[in-house]
Amino acid sequence: MVGYRGIALIGGKAVMRRLLCAVGWALLVMVTLAPTSLAAEDWCSDDPLLVLATPDGSAVPVYVLTSAPIGHIGSVMAATYRYSADHYVRDAAGDLGTVFTIYVTVPNDPISGPFGLYDAVNSGPATGGSVEGYQMAVASGITYVSTSGTSGAEIALSFDYPQP
């Protein structure tokens, strides 16, 4: 016997019950997994101003942009920064410049553990935007260096600056 829209009524209501149960499980799986995949599309950022000093004492203001998946804003805000500055010979005339290395450490999430990061050193503050489909802060000014890494480990960002 065939009922409404071709649904077999063999066995009575049992077939309909199985169909509704299967649809219910499919919806439950979609609702449960969808927020996880959507959350990966949004990132949170912090870009504090750091005033670096060359070995000769010149001030170099930079913004260190640290971005991570949106659920890790607390860890991003707890990041620690330190740097080193050393002379290097930048041309054949023997003129000196400075090589800076900024070390960024973002603590792991206390619940979910380590997570991916994006770090950049820029001459200007970050603005809202999109990078490769991800909603995140975008650097303004000159980007001296950028890299990705993982929380819980120190990330080193090195770049040459033409002033001694």
**6-41 per-position pLDDT tens digit:** 555 555 565 556 655 555 555 544 544 444 433 444
CA separation for the pair 83, 93 (Å, rounded): 28
> For the chain, which residues make up each domain, given as ranges?
4-39, 43-161
Q: What is the mean pLDDT of residues 63-90?
A: 94
Q: What's the token pair of residue 7?
A: 């649904």
Q: What is the mean pLDDT of residues 100-109?
A: 97
What was the pLDDT predicted at 53? 97
CA separation for the pair 37, 131 (Å, rounded): 17
CA separation for the pair 67, 156 (Å, rounded): 15
Does 84 have pLDDT greater than 90? yes
pTM confidence score: 0.70
DSSP assignment letter at 116: E
Question: pLDDT digits over 141-151, tens only?
Answer: 899 999 999 99
Question: pLDDT digits over 105-129, tens only?
Answer: 999 999 999 999 999 999 999 876 6
What was the pLDDT predicted at 37? 39
What was the pLDDT predicted at 126? 82
What was the pLDDT predicted at 149? 96
